Amino acid sequence: MPKTLQTLLSFAHRAERIMEERTAALAARPALLAPEAPRIALLACAVGAELYGLPIGAVAQAVPQGPCARLPGAPPALLGLFGQAGQVFCVLDLGAVFGHPADLAAPGHFLLLRQARGATRFALRADRVIGAVRVAPPDAADDTTRPAGSPVAGHARLDDGRLIALLAPDRLLHPYLPAAPAAPAPLQTPRGA
């Protein structure tokens, strides 16, 4: 075999080997080739050691905890009314909703929710605001472990490995909405009229 042909075959063999090595190296790093899984944006907050996340679009503003006007006969989780920028908010204590009432003497934050429920605006009280995070959506299997109508829509892991409960604002607020007024009775037409 002529020397040039032998050299060309050697180069071709070496190039083939390099391509196989690179292919194997890329295959060992599937995260670089796979598209990123969809992630959802949350505002993360803490109540004690528990972490909760609300859809970022549901929260208009986070403000330092302020004074609330108590409502007589209100459930324990409903702290009272809070005024901010000319609007009145019913403040719901996230800790009390989940069985861990907050120490209200300790400073906390109010998360002012964007959407009013009927004529009522709500704010949620948390010990502290963590900030905006992005997490993978909860696994569908997570739904089977919670009762129907639970305010927790699922669980996810933060990048640092901590577990965060994803809250569904509508289900969270539903028990605290004012009762709808009873429908008026139909008018009776008097006989003989």
In a domain, 50, yes or no: yes
Give pLDDT, residue 191: 63
pLDDT at 125 over 90: yes
Number of domains into which the chain is organized: 1
In whole angstroms, give the CA distance from residue 21 to residue 146: 48
In a domain, 125, yes or no: yes
DSSP 120: B
In whole angstroms, give the CA distance from residue 176 to residue 123: 12
Average pLDDT over residues 90-94: 94
In a domain, 27, yes or no: no
Query: Which among 65, 62, 52, 64 is positioned nearest to 133, based on CA atoms?
Result: 52
In a domain, 182, yes or no: no
In a domain, 92, yes or no: yes
Q: The domain spanning residue 152 has which CATH number?
A: 2.40.50.180
Average pLDDT over residues 162-173: 92
pLDDT tens per residue across span 20-74: 887 777 666 655 555 666 888 999 999 989 999 999 999 999 999 999 999 899 8
In a domain, 143, yes or no: yes
pLDDT tens per residue across span 128-158: 999 999 998 876 655 556 677 789 999 999 9
DSSP bridge pairs for 62: 111
In a domain, 87, yes or no: yes
In a domain, 22, yes or no: no
Domain span at 51: 40-176
Give pLDDT, residue 31: 57
Tokens of 98: 């989940």
Average pLDDT over residues 171-184: 74
Give pLDDT, residue 5: 57
